[in-house]
Amino acid sequence: MSFASIPKNPHALRVTPHLLDYEQARAGHSWEALRADLQGLPGGGLNLAHEAVDRHAGGARANHLALRWLGKDGSVRDLTYADMARASARFANVLRSLGVAKGERVFALMGRVPELYFAALGTLKNVSVFCPLFSQFGPEPVWQRLSRGDAKVLVTTQALYEKKVAALRERLPALQFILLADAAEDLDASVLSLPKLMAAASDVFVIPPTSPEEMALLHFTSGTTGMPKGAVHVHQAALTHFATGRYVLDLHPEDIFWCTADPGWVTGTSYGIFAPFLHGVTNLVDEADFDAERWYRILQEQKVTVWYTAPTAIRRLMRIPGEPRAQHDLGALRLIHSVGEPLNPEAVVWGQRALGLPIHDNWWQTETGGIMIANYAAMDIRPGSMGKPLPGIDAAIVKRGEQGIQVITEADHEGELALRPGWPSMFRAYLHDDARYAKCFVDGWYLSGDLAKRDADGYFWFVGRADDIIKTSGHMVGPFEVESALMEHPSVAEAGVIGKPDPLIGELVKAFVVLKPGHAATDELRLELTGFARKRLGPAVAPKEIAFIESLPKTRSGKIMRRLLKARELGLPEGDLSTLEND
Ligand code: ATP
Ligand code: MG
C-alpha cells in the first residue's frame, strides 16, 4: 500500500525555511563555508562548548534564554546563554582543580537536570570527554560502561550513587572522583559535593586550544541488535550539529525547541544540547518522563515551535482516543521531527490529522553523530520515507559482493544503506574495538547495517536492519513493512515482526501485536488481522502467525527489540539486556 504524498506543510513555511530548494542546497553546500558561520577559538581550533555557549554569551544573544528547565514538580528554571557560559566555566574549573586532563572521561548518570547540561559543556571546555549514561540503567550496565569507557569522573546524584554506584566502587579502580550534584557535603575524599565545588570555582574559564579532531563525546549505542558499542565523536561534530539544526530542524532565532530524548542517547546530546545551542535558540528540557497530557500541555504553554521526538512516543499518543487539538492549542508548532526507528506512514498521516502537522522522519545512528537523511520543511513528504540525504552527505544503496561493494543505481532496489565517509560527525572509533570499526568501512563506503531502497525521485525508504530481515519462501521481508500494514488496522497500537525458522519456507513471518484499549484479543480478531494484512501485503509477506501481547520489548531509547521477541519465541539465550526497558 502507499499513502499519498503530503504537500509542503504550510506551518513550516510561516518562517522562510533555510533550505528552500533541495537540489540548490546540495549543490551550494560546503563544510568549509559552513565552518565560517562558527567562530573558532581565539587561539585557533574548534571547541563544541565554545560554539554552543561562549560564542553567544560573548555576543548579542548573551541574555537570550538558552535553557528552560521544567522540573517534575512543576518548578521552572531559566538560564540565559551568559548563565550557561558561567555555569559550564565553573564546572570546567572544578575538573581542572581535580586534575582531570584533556581526553579523560567524565561520565554523567543523572536525570535531565540543569547540572547535567553544565557538566556536558564544562567537560568539553576542559577538553575532556563527556559520556552521558541513562539514569535508569541498573548497576550492571552502569559498571559495564564506566569500566569499558575508562571513567575517571562520574557526576551523579546522592540517590543514584547509593543505589547503583556505591557497591561498584571496588570494581572501578580507575574511577577517581564522584561528584554528587545534590549533596551539600562531601561523603569522603573522593565522593564530593558538586555544589560546594561549583561555589568555590571561578565562573571564568579560558578554553585551551582544541583540535577539531580531539575526542569530545563517547556514546554507547542502543543495544538493539546486541552488546552496545562505544562510539567516539570529536569536536568537529559541531559542524554536523549546526548544519542539521539549519537544514533539517530549520532553527530560527526565536524558536522554542524541544527534543524529548534523554542525553543518555545520542539524540539527547546532538539535538538535546548541541544543535539548539549552536543556533542560539531556547532549548526546552523536561525532567519528567513521557506523559501524554503533560506533553500536550508543554507544547501549548511553552509555545514550542520545533519539536523533535520518536516513533515510540508518537505511537503512544496515537493510542489515546480523542482529538488533541480539541483540548490543546498547538498553534505555535511549526515542525515535528522524528527519529530512532522507522516512522510508520500511518503515524505521519495521524500527525497531519490529529496535530495539524505531518511528522518529518529522519534517519541517523549513534555512529553518524547527526541526521544524515531527512524530510525537510520545504519538501513534500512521502509517508513512510526517511527523506533525502543531507546536503554534504552522499548516501547510496549498495550490495556487498565478491568484487567488493557494488552501488545499486536502479530505483526501488533493496540493498545496504551506505555513506561516503568524511562527514564531520562521523564516529572516529568504536572504543577499544578497532577491528569492528575497520569492518564498517569497505571500498570507500561506511556501511550502516541497515537495508533501504531509493525511489526514482531520490527519496530513501527504510527496509529493516540487516539482522532483522526475514527470508521467507525466497522473499526478503523487512519487518517494518509488515508492522506498518498491521498498524493501519484500527485495533492495532503497535506490532513487532520476526522470522521464525520453518523447514518448508525458511522462515515464516510472525507478528506480535499490541491492541489499542477497548479491543479484545480474540481468535476472530486474529483472523481479521490476517486477512487485513494479506490484502495489503499479499500472502507471501503477510504474517502466517499472529500473537497478541501486552507490550513489546523495547530498548530504553524506545526501539522494538525484535531479537528479543525472536529469542523468546525460540527459547534461545536472550543476550545483552542492559538497555531493555523493564518498568
Ligand atoms: P545497536 O547498534 O547497539 O544495535 P541501535 O542501532 O538501535 O543499537 P542507535 O545508534 O541508537 O542504536 O540507532 C540507530 C538505528 O536506529 C539505525 O541504524 C536504524 O536501524 C534505526 N533508525 C534510526 N532512525 C531511523 C529511521 N528514521 N527510520 C528507520 N530506522 C531508524
Ligand atoms: Mg546500530
- Distance between Cα 15 and ligand 2 center (Å): 35
Query: What are the pLDDT digits (tens) for 423-467?
Result: 999 999 999 999 999 999 999 999 999 999 999 999 999 999 998
Tell whether 415 and 476 lie within a shared domain: no
Q: What is the pLDDT of residues 270-306, one digit of tens each?
A: 999 999 999 999 999 999 999 999 999 999 999 999 9
For 93-104, how does the pLDDT look when each residue is reduced to its tens digit (9 = 90+)? 999 999 999 999
CA of 465 to the centre of ligand 1 (A): 8
- Final residue before a domain boundary, out of 403, 428, 454: 454
Do 421 and 535 fall within a single domain? Answer: no
Same domain, 218 and 336: yes
Please, what sign has the CA dihedral across residues 135, 140, 146, 149? negative
> Which atom of ligand 1 has the smallest separation from the CA of 373?
27
Per-residue pLDDT, averaged over 371-399, amounts to: 97
Instruction: Report CA-CA distances (Å) from 568 to 235, 497, 550, 576.
Output: 41, 13, 15, 13
Residue 489 lies in a domain: yes
The tally of domains found in the chain comes to 2
Whether 320 is in a domain gets the answer yes
Q: Judge whether residue 521 has pLDDT over 80.
A: yes
Decide which of 429, 454, 479 is a domain's last residue: 454
Residues 104 and 143 both lie in one domain: yes
Query: pLDDT tens digits for 507-517?
Result: 999 999 999 99
- Region 112-125: mean pLDDT is 98
- 378 in a structural domain: yes
Can you say whether the dihedral through the CA atoms of 283, 289, 295, 298 is positive or negative? negative
* Probe residue for ligand 1, chosen from 227, 314, 315, 341 as the CB with the greatest number of ligand atoms within 8 Å: 341
Residue 213 has pLDDT above 90, yes or no: yes
What pLDDT sits at residue 10?
A: 86
CA 365 to ligand 1 center in whole angstroms: 5
298, containing H or E segment: helix 292-301
* CATH number of domain containing 510: 3.30.300.30
Tell me if 459 is assigned to some domain. no
What single letter denotes the amino acid at residue 367? E
Shortest-distance ligand to the CA of residue 223: 1
Strands (E), 173-323: 177-180, 191-193, 215-220, 230-234, 256-259, 282-286, 306-309
Q: Verify that 170 and 316 share a domain, yes or no.
A: yes
448 lies in the same domain as 478 = no
Final residue before a domain boundary, out of 391, 423, 454: 454
| Same structural domain, 443 and 492 | no
Atom 27 of ligand 1: nearest residue by CA position: 363
Q: Using 50, 70 and 90 to split pLDDT, how confident is the model at 525?
A: very high
Same-domain status, 400 and 485? no
Q: Is 582 part of any domain? A: no
The proportion of the chain whose per-residue pLDDT surpasses 90, expressed as a percent, equals 90
* pLDDT above 60 (res 1): no
Same domain, 79 and 132: yes
Residue position matching grid coordinates 571513567: 151
- pLDDT at 583 (0 to 100): 54
Read off the pLDDT of residues 328-375 as tens digits, 9 standing for 90 and up.
Answer: 999 999 999 999 999 999 999 999 999 999 999 999 999 999 999 999
Residue 487 Cα to ligand 2 middle (Å)? 24
pLDDT of 582 higher than 80: no
Question: Per the domain annotation, does 4 fall within a domain?
Answer: no
Is the domain of 484 the same as that of 437?
no
Per the structure, the complete domain to which residue 419 belongs is given by 10-30+32-454
Average pLDDT over residues 42-66: 96
| CA dist 454 → 411, 469, 480, 503 (Å) | 6, 18, 16, 33
CA of 391 to the centre of ligand 1 (A): 21
**pLDDT greater than 90 at residue 269:** yes
Residue 29 C-beta-side C-alpha neighbours within 13 Å: 22
Average pLDDT over residues 482-495: 95
Mean pLDDT of the chain: 95
pLDDT at 499: 96
CATH number of the domain encompassing residue 286 = 3.40.50.12780
Q: Which atom of ligand 1 is nearest to the CA of 363?
A: 27
Give 477 Cα–ligand 1 centroid separation in angstroms. Answer: 18
> Counting ligands in written order, which one lies closest to the CA of residue 448?
1
Q: Do 492 and 394 fall within a single domain?
A: no
pLDDT at 60: 96
Q: How does residue 504 score in pLDDT terms, banded at 50, 70 and 90?
A: confident
Residue 253 counted as domain residue: yes
Residue 381 lies in a domain: yes
* All residues at 6 or more sequence positions from 338 whose CB lies less than 8 Å from its CB, including other chains: 308, 309, 310, 311, 314, 347, 359, 360, 361, 362
Instruction: Give CA–CA dist 160/131, Å, rounded.
Output: 16
Q: Are residues 266 and 381 in the same domain?
A: yes
Pick the atom of ligand 1 nearest to 467's CA: 4
What confidence tens digit (pLDDT) does each residue in 411-427 have? 999 999 999 999 999 99
Query: Which range has the worst mean pLDDT, 180-189, 442-451, 533-542?
Result: 533-542
Residues of the chain by 3-state class (helix, strand, coil), percent to 5: 35, 25, 40
Which of 224, 233, 336, 563 has the most ligand 1 atoms within 8 A of CB, as the residue to mutate?
A: 224
